[in-house]
Each structure stands twice: as C-alpha cells, then as structure tokens.
Amino acid sequence: MILVVGGAGYIGSHLVKELVKTKEVVVLDNLSTGHRWAVDNRAAFVQGDLCSEADLAEVFEKYPIEAVMHFAAFSLVGESVEKPQKYYDNNVAATLTLLRLMRKYNVNHFIFSSTAATYGIPAVDMITENTATNPINPYGRSKLMIEHILADFAASYGLKYVALRYFNAAGAYETAEIGEDHHPETHLIPIVLEHLLGQRESISVFGTDYETTDGTCIRDYIHVTDLAKAHIAALQGLLNGHLNTAVYNLGNGKGYSVKEVIETCEQITGRPANVVYTGRRAGDPAQLVASSEKIFNEIGWKAEMGLQDIISSAWKWHSRTDIQNI
Ligand SMILES: O=c1ccn([C@@H]2O[C@H](COP(=O)(O)OP(=O)(O)O[C@H]3O[C@H](CO)[C@H](O)[C@H](O)[C@H]3O)[C@@H](O)[C@H]2O)c(=O)[nH]1
C-alpha cells in the first residue's frame, strides 16, 4: 500500500487518480488547503496532520505501507518570506517527523515533491540537475533542506528516494472531475481563465522589463497529469530496485512568456483579455526552463502534453458551472 501525504491537494489528488489504477492507496491530509472531494474514492482516506506524530503513527499502524509519497507542503513564495516559521515548521520539521516514523515502521521508499525554486535565479537558460542550487526564499530553502536531509538519510540509513523538482504545474484532469482550486489563487493560468470567465476584472502582468524576448517572465509549464505519471515511474523505479536515490527536474523543456500564456488562453477560449501591465513581483526570476533529459534517460519519462493541452484542460475545469459550490 502506498501512503500519499497531502493527497487531497492539487498535485496529490491528480497523482492519486493515476496511482489507484495499479496500487492500493491511503491518503493522509488535514484538508487545510486540499479537498475531500478531490480524493478518488478508490483510495482510503485519513484526515490527519503531518505535524502530528500521533496521526502519522495511526496510519503506519493501520496500513501495510511500502512507500510514502509526500505532497503536503506550503508553496507560496511570497507567503514564505512573510511567514518563514510556518514554512520551516511544516515543510521541514513535519517532514522530519514523517521520516522518523518511516524508519520506525521500516518503510524505506520515499518520493518527495521538490521545486524549481531550489535553483533560485539560475545562470543558465536550460536548467539541468547539475545547475547550482541557490534558493532565494524560505520556500525554496525549505525544500532544498529536505533534499539534503534525504541524501544524508540515504547515506546513513539506506533510505531510497526520488526528489522531483517541479517547474510550473498547471492543467486539470482530463474529465474535469478535479483541477486547480487554490484560495486565494496566485498562479497565472487559473487567474487568466477566471478573468476570461468574468470572475476577475483584469489580469496584471508582473513586469515587462525582464531580459526575455518580450520583456515578461518565461516559465516551463507542465501538465499535472504528466507530473503524476512521473511520480509513478519514479515509484516503480524505487520498488523494482532500478533506482536508489535520484533528483529529477520535471518540465517540458520549453518556456513560454507571460504574454504568450495570455495569448494562448485568448486563442483557446476565443475571448479577449483585459491586461494591465504592472511592476515586477518580488522574487520572480526572469526565466525558469527545465531540461528533463535525465529522467527520460534513466526511467523513460517525458512530458506528453504541451501548453495547448494544459490550457484546454484547465478551461474545461474552470468552466464547470458548479465549481464555485464544490
Ligand atoms: O497574476 C499574475 C500571476 C503571475 N504572473 C506571472 O506569471 C509567471 C508565473 O507565475 P505563477 O505564480 O503562476 O508561478 P511561479 O513561477 O511564480 O511559481 C511556481 O514556482 C514557484 C517557485 O518558484 C512555486 O513552486 C509555485 O507554486 C509555482 O507555481 C510569473 O512570472 C509571474 O510573475 C503574472 O504576471 N500575473
């Protein structure tokens, strides 16, 4: 059985939908940002807190866990600057408790959600796993700290793990049963689509003076279902002994500017956007684009969906008329 911590959240719930096809799954989530309805009903569900050793112990006692996938983290860069305690308590201290209990219950396989924010402001256009990590905010640092801890646990305790550095996760499940639903929403694609649905008056573009082709920031958008499939490939690699420890980028290898994203949203929806150009948002690197060659070469995963698929699926999800009430 696979324990998915944070399996009611955006990325975790998409992973669970894929994972239940081949594995027995139990989800632990405190529902602070996740949703009970987002958890596939083929998975067992425990409402509990990663920060509570007792809640964690209950799950390990009750279920025969063979691997843990860990999605439960706070992930807003700006908030992490304002409230570093919250980020280090949850993203670092609680994860350490989880790792301690894994040792206690002899669970030795771990998949960790890391981030492109570990790179900070990279000196290269195409980021590989060898690019220097130099995070510029507590969120990125909290994730990199856990990566270091995992490497130490692997060396001393034989932990087998994969850390996956996500670039910009976006899109929704193909049936639109689940999708992105953050409160408040800060991510570009949902904000643009909510605007095009009439739920926001305008879109602000944060910065037009970056050293990029059109002056706006470039990001590597990856479909959340592609991300889910990468986790499953990594899990298989760990369980069949092909992988011991690994750190992989997860991206498409292609960057799009904020302007290009907005234009693609306009094309797909057939609706014009009211765009307001404003100053830079603190902490935004000009360009973050991933080389995902390493994971392709080692376990054969690559992204199958591009920006059009991402936005089309997100549009289907956001257009659901009942979405406000779920
Ligand atoms: O209303 C908006 C929202 C975003 N942007 C711009 O759009 C780009 C993408 O912004 P997102 O907030 O969608 O994504 P980020 O690249 O900032 O964030 C991603 O990387 C972060 C770490 O760097 C976190 O992991 C976060 O959860 C993940 O989505 C950025 O240049 C941002 O400035 C706008 O112009 N207007």
Residue with tokens 């992930």: 75
Band of the pLDDT at 283, cuts 50, 70, 90? confident
**The complex's ipTM?**
0.97
Average pLDDT estimate for 222-226: 98
Average pLDDT estimate for 237-257: 97
Instruction: Indicate whether residue 206 lines ligand 1 (CB < 6 A).
Output: yes
Give the domain 188-219+253-319 fold.
UDP-galactose 4-epimerase; domain 1 (3.90.25)
Q: pTM for this one?
A: 0.97
Average pLDDT estimate for 240-257: 97
Domain boundaries, the chain: 2-170+221-250, 188-219+253-319
Taking alpha carbons only, the member of 213, 192, 212, 216 closest to residue 202 is 192
Tell me which architecture the domain covering 2-170+221-250 has in CATH.
3-Layer(aba) Sandwich (3.40)
Instruction: Indicate whether residue 225 lines ligand 1 (CB < 6 A).
Output: no
Band of the pLDDT at 310, cuts 50, 70, 90? very high
Nearest CA, atom 9, ligand 1 = 188
Q: Which of 191-195, 282-286, 297-301 has the lowest mean pLDDT?
A: 282-286
Whether pLDDT at 24 is above 90:
yes
Whether pLDDT at 64 is above 70:
yes
Taking alpha carbons only, the member of 156, 52, 150 closest to residue 101 is 52
Count how many residues are written for the chain. Answer: 326
Average pLDDT estimate for 152-178: 97
Whether pLDDT at 323 is above 90:
no
pLDDT, position 282: 85
The span from the CA of 186 to the CA of 176, in Å, is: 20
Probe ligand 1: pick from 80, 180, 186, 187, max atoms within 8 Å of CB?
187
CB atoms within 10 A of CB 144: 21
The atom number, within ligand 1, closest to the CA of 216 reads 31
Summarised one tens digit per residue, pLDDT across range 296-305 is: 999 999 999 9
